[in-house]
């Protein structure tokens, strides 16, 4: 078996698909030290620059003094602290739903949401470019799994008409993590109402960034969760919110079902309460400091303008995720390494994360970046284009 494993690893390396774990020294920032070398980084999901915010550091310290470090047990035993409870209340109000449930990770939140609500005899319909956690959840649910072409609602409508079932769930990223484009939420909701289906929305990359006060993709689409009983909303708290964890929001019956039947909720130790305490401060910063999103918009526009003339097209995205489509995996890795030699860290994203032939540089912007940072990246890419 070891011989087979080594052979498979060598093949992966030869195909330009081998991954390694760079070691970050210090906090998230546009200027970081990785493996002992200083870089200008465009690779973090810390979109609002909150991961090292002094107010959150102070809140973590206060939370540790009040609640200790570890939760000590699952939420259903004795690990559900006052901090968790207050955060869930705050998240429900912030996202516009009757109730919210806190999870340790977005992966665990999606696993619970799908497997607790859907099972044998049911059908899951999924956008082909959904996050891996949604796909894995569908497979674990043992429901029939049907995928539709990316953002093709006509194809989805035909599938919904073709496949009746006891329960039907449509699930989609709100902002697609590798493309940066957005799902048409209002149209999806109308389709789900027409065919009596549930809609699970994964807003990992929209929460905190999009919509009024950063309340997420729903508010950008003028959708209010309480008006749509078939809507289930998931968002993560380790990206724009700057801390860790995730939550699912929805109707009371949905959330209570996840409490009772969500295996990745009930069978794991609760997240440290000090993190929940810090996230209450994070929600306040997201809502009040609107300049952070305004700064992001300016940086996105500046980057897009600067990269217009490159041989590698910038994919259509209005979000901090700005993918530069390269094509072949080896070429994407070459460009990433060439930038690294200039002290700029931009990751190469390759299959199976993205489709074959669509390897890319995934540029992510943060409020903490400056215009000078963006200009440095633009110049470096133009230099590489001139010598390619």
Q: Check whether 131 is labelled as a binding-site residue.
A: yes
Annotated binding-site residue? 19: yes
Pair 345, 32: CB distance under 8 Å: yes
Nearest to 145 by CA among 155, 159, 157: 159
Q: Is 107 annotated as belonging to a binding site?
A: yes
Quote the longest CA-to-CA distance of the chain: 61
- Say if residue 47 carries a ligand binding annotation: no
Residue 106 assigned ligand-binding role: yes
Q: What is the DSSP string of 35-83?
A: TTEEEEE-----TTS-TT-HHHHHHHHHHHHHH-S---SBTTTT---HH
CB 177 within 8 A of CB 151: no
Residue 352 sits at φ, ψ, to 5 deg, of: -85, 5
The verdict on whether residue 261 carries a ligand-binding annotation is no
Produce one character per residue of 109-133: b if its CB has 16 or more CB atoms within 10 Å, e if not. bbbbbbbbbbeeebbbbbbebbbeb
Query: Is 298 marked within a binding site?
Result: no
Query: β-strands 31-34, 321-327: how paired?
Result: unpaired
CA dist 240 and 366 (Å) reads 9
Phi then psi dihedrals of residue 209, to 5 deg: -105, -45
Q: Is 369 annotated as a binding residue?
A: no
| Main-chain dihedrals φ then ψ at residue 215, nearest 5 degrees | -80, 0
Query: In the sheet where 37-41 sits, what is the strand order?
Result: 24-25, 31-34, 37-41, 344-345
Q: Which long-range contacts (CB under 8 A, 24 or more apart) does 294-303 make?
A: 295/367, 296/47, 296/48, 296/209, 296/320, 296/365, 296/366, 296/367, 298/371, 299/365, 299/367, 299/369, 299/371, 299/374, 300/365, 302/371, 302/374, 302/375, 303/363, 303/365, 303/374, 303/377, 303/378
218 Cβ contact list (under 8 Å, min separation 6) = 95, 96, 174, 185, 201, 203, 211, 224, 225, 233
Binding annotation for pyridoxal 5'-phosphate: 106-107, 177, 205, 236
Binding annotation for substrate: 19, 131, 353
Binding annotation: 19, 106-107, 131, 177, 205, 236, 353
């Amino acid at each position: 078996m070891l011989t087979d494993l080594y052979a498979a690893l060598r093949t992966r390396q030869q195909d330009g698909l081998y991954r390694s774990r760079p070691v970050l020294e210090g906090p998230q920032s546009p200027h970081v030290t990785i493996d002992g070398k200083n870089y200008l980084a465009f690779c973090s999901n810390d979109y609002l620059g909150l991961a090292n915010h002094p107010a959150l550091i102070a809140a973590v310290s206060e939370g540790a003094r009040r609640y200790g470090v570890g939760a000590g047990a699952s939420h259903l035993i004795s690990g559900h602290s006052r901090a968790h409870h207050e955060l869930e209340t705050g998240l429900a109000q912030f996202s516009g739903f009757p109730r919210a449930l806190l999870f340790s990770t977005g992966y665990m939140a999606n696993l619970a949401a799908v497997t607790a609500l859907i099972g044998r005899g049911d059908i899951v319909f999924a956008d082909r470019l959904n996050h891996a956690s949604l796909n894995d959840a569908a497979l674990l649910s043992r429901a029939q799994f049907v995928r539709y072409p990316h953002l093709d609602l006509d194809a989805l409508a035909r599938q919904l008409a073709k496949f009746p079932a006891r329960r039907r769930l449509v699930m989609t990223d709100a902002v697609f993590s590798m493309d940066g484009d957005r799902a048409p939420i209002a149209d999806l909701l109308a389709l789900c109402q027409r065919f009596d289906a549930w809609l699970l929305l994964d807003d990992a990359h929209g929460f905190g960034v999009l919509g009024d006060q950063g309340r997420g993709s729903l508010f950008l689409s003028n959708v209010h969760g309480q008006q749509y009983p078939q809507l289930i909303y998931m968002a993560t708290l380790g990206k724009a919110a700057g801390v860790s964890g995730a939550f699912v929001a929805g109707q009371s019956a949905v959330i209570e079902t996840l409490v009772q039947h969500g295996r990745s909720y009930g069978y794991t130790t609760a997240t440290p309460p000090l993190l929940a305490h810090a996230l209450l401060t994070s929600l306040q910063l997201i809502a009040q400091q609107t300049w952070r999103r305004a700064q992001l918009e300016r940086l996105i526009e500046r980057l897009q303008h600067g990269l217009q003339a490159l041989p590698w097209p910038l994919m259509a995205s209005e979000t901090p995720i700005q993918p530069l489509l390269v094509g072949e995996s080896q070429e994407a890795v070459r460009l990433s390494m060439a930038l690294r030699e200039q002290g700029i860290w931009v990751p190469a994203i390759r299959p199976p994360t993205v489709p074959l032939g669509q390897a890319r540089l995934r540029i992510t912007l943060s409020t903490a970046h400056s215009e000078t940072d963006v200009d440095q990246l633009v110049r470096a890419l133009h230099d590489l284009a001139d010598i390619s």
